[in-house]
Structure 1
């Protein structure tokens, strides 16, 4: 049964409304067929059968031809029955006649009433004339043909009842569908805005609409967006000040080291390298803490970004193999942040491997969307499986060397796009970094 239940809120809400509605209408229809229609049908059939039985009795008591004439005239005038006598005829084999009104009990009720009241062989014909039913009764001297209007056996309330059941159901279902669609639309817009905001886009403030709860959620979402923006702005301003304060003494140290006498040049060179390393660590820390939160998403070709990162790695001395789709892959991206992500992955691979292979592919996902998957393979020593998640922690160290902030920053950027990075065993024998981004 779970497979038949809709997954969406609109489908489930309509199902909640539709099931009780159908159940109520089925009960009403059952009561109508089981009581009202059945009673009315039996009474109308009994009235027609009684009229036929009376005509048969009159013909039996008045067998003369002149009497038959006034009986036929009175039946046509007073009983609305058209009569004709076929002398010397006999009824054929009845057989199984197809029901002309399969959903109504009229034929069965009329046959039962004729058997009860007439007491002679008979058959009925519901198909020859669409506006009347023909009853044939076997008399001693022939077959009596009786033509009765169908309206005497049929109640017009059936049409009214069916129109009411179907019309009211469609009206209620249409109103419910329209109302629920408006409510679900507000929730869907909230979900789309939350997903866009989570991927680094700026959807702007939402317009509260729908039910009170949906409006409250939209107001809360707008307030959350404002708090997060203010937090990012204040943190960025603070980090800019930290960058200035930390780099000023480092600059003085560089100048001091440059002014040392020639006898201390070797020691000064080593100290200068330490100062430059501190400067790089500060820059990496600031990039990690900032989280690239200022840049906005814009359409960009991921294949071009991957190709640029591979070209830069080649200029740095790495041996890189590249596999890209021919038609590219344009999608909303924060291009500068993703360049840093790919650059960090390639720098990390270049430090521990001689050969690097980069691939890009589009992979379908379960919700009818797709993933853009970038794989970075190397032939280095790799990372043990039980330590791969630990590698994303800042400055994690392993036997093959430390990771610094490169992997941590790369994962932070991928998750800001709504994706992630996982580490796996590479076909080249080393480590594979798999970057997954929603298209």
Structure 2
């Protein structure tokens, strides 16, 4: 027998996603939540225990005492109907019991309100009603609003209405206020101390993250000063050591490449000179031209390889007008015979390594010029959420393009998808763009050919 297919618990999953959406995203907020949430739960449990037990017992006892004294006064009024005796009783109750009494002969109470419909903040009204029902057992009404210092209680007697003015302090204890102030005050104090402490810790982590981001973009930020907790200091020290190792590696690689450049270019130069000095009989003219072209191609390959391996790492970023660089590169491409149309704002300044980016755009336009008749370059600015904006450069052409399955392959070094070239142009372009913190992708162009879309962070 096949088991029924069970639907996933979508409400539970949706509740979990909603709860995660309410949680703070930052480390500071989550740390404070971890510290304060158990404290608030503990304080809430303590308040509930105090409110539900201690305060409830005290409130019942106070209400029972007032209701018992009122019941005693009513019994004595029934036993002493003489007006002089009642006057003595009222004076003695005001002095000894702190109850202000007045009798309205022949009066009746109105409709007694339904106390069950009210939900008071404190259990005072309910405890007083319960105590009056047990110890007085007569219709009554209590006014808690007319006087801020007293509670006016009206009791229906056979011959009239007895008015009793009882001080609120006889029905209410100020311990709750003190306890509540202590709870709130201690929570705020702990929150302030935790926020100050965690802010310093998070600030050190943010500085480390910013330094790592800047170093990844090729900016010289120098050594970080370790600060914060021991683990954060350890991470900062490890980051400084990593910077030093990477700088040494880049310096060693640059020195090695300089030596390779010299060693390779020297024999190529001798070969060029030898070809130039050789006699050129008519029957060998074509062979000499082919050899000269091969030597020039080898020189271009060596120069391209060195530029790719070097990655323009020695150049520092500086505020640069991207529009100006694009127009300069486009103008040079026009001098080489390309038809280039540029659409860009008047100015778009962002931190760049100008020579490296100029080489990147020159490679893109050079590739387009080899395979297309028309090139369109557009510079725009697009948002990227809360973190700022992107500067975007698109290079479109009307050439044959590159199939979608081979576009990523085109970025690999020495990948030649068409005749001619060294296969390093797009690899160098992507290396330069990614060193700026951006990226470059290949897409289908509206002109029918290939689109290279470059995004750089502002």
Question: TM-score band (shorter)?
Answer: over 0.9
Corresponding residue for residue 236 of structure 1: 254
Match of 1:308 among 328, 344, 352: 328
Match of 1:280 among 293, 297, 300: 300
In structure 2, what is the Cα distance between the partners aligned to 1:25 and 1:144?
A: 44
Corresponding residue for residue 121 of structure 2: 103
Contact 2:356 2:432 in 1 (8 A): yes
Match of 1:318 among 338, 361, 364: 338
Contact 1:395 1:405 in 2 (8 A): yes
1:404-415 equivalences under 5 Å are: 404-415=423-434
In structure 2, what is the Cα distance between the partners aligned to 1:226 and 1:279?
A: 33
In structure 1, what is the Cα distance between the partners aligned to 2:422 and 2:393?
A: 20
In structure 2, what is the Cα distance between the partners aligned to 1:124 and 1:64?
A: 27
1:59-208 equivalences under 5 Å are: 59-95=77-113, 102-208=120-226
Contact 1:90 1:142 in 2 (8 A): yes
Corresponding residue for residue 396 of structure 2: 377
Q: Does 2:276 correspond to 1:258?
A: yes
Match of 1:352 among 371, 387, 391: 371
Deviations 1:383-406 (A, max 9, x none): 111111111112212246556210
Deviations 1:26-61 (A, max 9, x none): 212221221111111100000111111111111111
In structure 2, what is the Cα distance between the partners aligned to 1:321 and 1:400?
A: 26
Where 1:398 maps in the other structure, the secondary structure is coil
Residue 338 of structure 1, CA deviation: 0.3
Contact 2:280 2:288 in 1 (8 A): no
Q: Gaps (5+ residues) in structure 1?
A: none
Match of 1:27 among 45, 49, 53: 45
Q: Gaps (5+ residues) in structure 2?
A: 1-18
Contact 1:417 1:437 in 2 (8 A): yes
Deviations 1:185-225 (A, max 9, x none): 11111111111111111121111111111111100111111
Contact 1:349 1:356 in 2 (8 A): yes
What TM-score does the superposition give when structure 2 sets the normalisation length?
0.92
In structure 1, what is the Cα distance between the partners aligned to 2:422 and 2:378?
A: 22
Larger displacement relative to structure 2 (380-389 or 366-375):
366-375
Corresponding residue for residue 442 of structure 2: 423
Corresponding residue for residue 319 of structure 2: 299
Match of 1:363 among 382, 385, 410: 382
Where 1:144 maps in the other structure, the secondary structure is strand
1:322-333 equivalences under 5 Å are: 322-326=342-346, 328-333=347-352
1:1-12 equivalences under 5 Å are: 1-12=19-30
Contact 2:360 2:432 in 1 (8 A): yes
Deviations 1:300-334 (A, max 9, x none): 111111111111111111001111124x2111101
Larger displacement relative to structure 2 (62-71 or 258-267):
258-267
Where 1:373 maps in the other structure, the secondary structure is strand
Residue 367 of structure 1, CA deviation: 4.0
In structure 2, what is the Cα distance between the partners aligned to 1:317 and 1:203?
A: 42
Root-mean-square deviation (CA, aligned residues, Å) is 1.8
Larger displacement relative to structure 2 (99-108 or 200-209):
99-108
Give the number of equivalent residue pairs.
438
Corresponding residue for residue 221 of structure 1: 239
Corresponding residue for residue 340 of structure 1: 359
Where 1:63 maps in the other structure, the secondary structure is coil
CA gap 1:99/1:298 in 2 versus in 1, 3 angstroms: farther
In structure 2, what is the Cα distance between the partners aligned to 1:387 and 1:122?
A: 92
In structure 2, what is the Cα distance between the partners aligned to 1:36 and 1:347?
A: 85
Larger displacement relative to structure 2 (218-227 or 179-188):
179-188
CA gap 1:292/1:32 in 2 versus in 1, 3 angstroms: same
Larger displacement relative to structure 2 (240-249 or 331-340):
240-249
Where 1:377 maps in the other structure, the secondary structure is strand
